[in-house]
Amino acid sequence: MATGGFLSRFLQLGRGRFGKGAPRAALLTVRVLSRAASRSQLHGTERSRVLTGKEDRFGGVTVDLSETGLAQDVSESEFSEILRESVARWKAERRAAVWLRVPIALSRCAAAASCHGFTFHHAKHDHAVLSLWLGDGRSRLPAFATHQVGVAGAVVDESTGKVLVVQDRNKTKNAWKFPGGLSDPGENIGATAVREVLEETGVRSEFRSLLSIRQQHQHPNAFGMSDMYIICRLSPLTYDIHFCTQECVRCEWLDLAELAQTHSTTPITSRVARLLLRGLESGFGHIDLGMEELPAVYSGTVYQLYYRQLPPPLRP
């Protein structure tokens, strides 16, 4: 009989024989059998106590402890022994690296893993990922993401030569700037700009192009990481302002010529304002970095390429 079936039958017999006042010994027996069932799922046999995972094309293996059948009450010492045998097997198989995903409920396993050379790679709200390099020489594992991405939208009304600007409530200086904020994971640059403009000003818009990129390292508001700040050109779909008073103290449609000359703005904003004036005068094709979606070669997905696109060839 399979372990799971035996355990289910045992529980049924236990409830019938002992009732609600089951002796402590019987409950302990159930607990031991439950842990034995988990070990059976984890290792396959008692002689093989090796964690299983998913292999990647770089010769590494990813082990998610939430998917291995590991008992939730596994002790640190017990897991350490399991990991010792697993690492020995991976070395024998000449694995290049191991990625160990540890759910927050099994955080004690991270301490055990550190005794075998694992180090923290990154963490999210419900788990941490540790890594161990098994290849020759210095570790060639990639570092975790080191940048945050902020996006602003310069909404230009071409019929009036005005642009939508705000003054942030949380800034020490009330300078005019383009509405914007941090990009969400998996969110395209243009989508971030459109969303942030709507949230801060109430104005609906659509993405046109990318205008500028600022890079700043050890940003104080990015936990000491690097920061990328991108400004996009947007076209308005609506014009009435209903700005968010929690984020902004002012919001206006301002003449681009005035924004380019005023001292009540940021260095980035004034420079982009002058760039937009050039676009109004000579055509935005001279300043825009357009976006084109292309198929990714290796992942089978698509990506967005922002670049100065060439004009179509002249027809004979």
Distance CA 226, CA 148 (A): 7
Whether residue 190 is found in the same domain as residue 171:
yes
According to the model, what pLDDT value does residue 47 have?
A: 47
Distance CA 209, CA 75 (A): 55
- pTM, rounded to two decimals: 0.71
Whether residue 177 is found in the same domain as residue 302:
yes
Whether residue 178 is found in the same domain as residue 270:
yes
> What does the pLDDT look like over 131-150, one tens digit per residue?
999 999 999 998 888 889 99
Instruction: Choose among 269, 276, 258, 253: nearest CA to 173.
Output: 269
Residue 313 belongs to some domain of the structure: no
Whether residue 10 is found in the same domain as residue 43:
yes
CA-based R_g, the chain, Å:
29
> What does the pLDDT look like over 228-239, one tens digit per residue?
999 999 999 999
Distance CA 201, CA 203 (A): 5
Whether residue 41 is found in the same domain as residue 170:
no
Residue 316 belongs to some domain of the structure: no
Over residues 298-314, the mean pLDDT reads: 82
At CA 116, angle to CA 114 and CA 119, rounded to 5?
40
CATH value at residue 248: 3.90.79.10
Residue 286 belongs to some domain of the structure: yes
Whether residue 160 is found in the same domain as residue 300:
yes
> What does the pLDDT look like over 14-64, one tens digit per residue?
444 444 444 554 444 445 444 544 444 454 434 457 999 999 888 999 999
According to the model, what pLDDT value does residue 10 have?
A: 45
Q: Which two tokens stand for residue 15?
A: 């409830």
Pairing of strands 60-64, 97-103: parallel
- Supply the range of the domain harboring residue 203: 147-306
Distance CA 190, CA 170 (A): 24
Quote the number of domains for the chain: 3
> What does the pLDDT look like over 257-276, one tens digit per residue?
999 999 999 899 999 999 99
Q: What are phi and psi of 204, to 5 degrees?
A: -90, 145
Whether residue 159 is found in the same domain as residue 259:
yes
Whether residue 42 is found in the same domain as residue 157:
no
Whether residue 96 is found in the same domain as residue 178:
no
Tell me what the pLDDT averaged over the chain comes to: 86
CATH value at residue 58: 3.40.630.30
Residue 215 belongs to some domain of the structure: yes
> What does the pLDDT look like over 238-254, one tens digit per residue?
999 999 998 999 999 99
Whether 73 has a pLDDT exceeding 90, the answer reads yes
Whether residue 54 is found in the same domain as residue 25:
no
Whether residue 157 is found in the same domain as residue 289:
yes
According to the model, what pLDDT value does residue 289 have?
A: 94
Over residues 211-223, the mean pLDDT reads: 86
Would you call 39 helix, strand, or coil by DSSP? helix
Whether residue 40 is found in the same domain as residue 56:
no
**Span of 31-40, 81-90, 275-284 with lowest mean pLDDT:** 31-40
Over residues 98-111, the mean pLDDT reads: 96
According to the model, what pLDDT value does residue 314 have?
A: 64
> What does the pLDDT look like over 286-297, one tens digit per residue?
999 999 999 988
Higher pLDDT: 24 or 282? It is 282
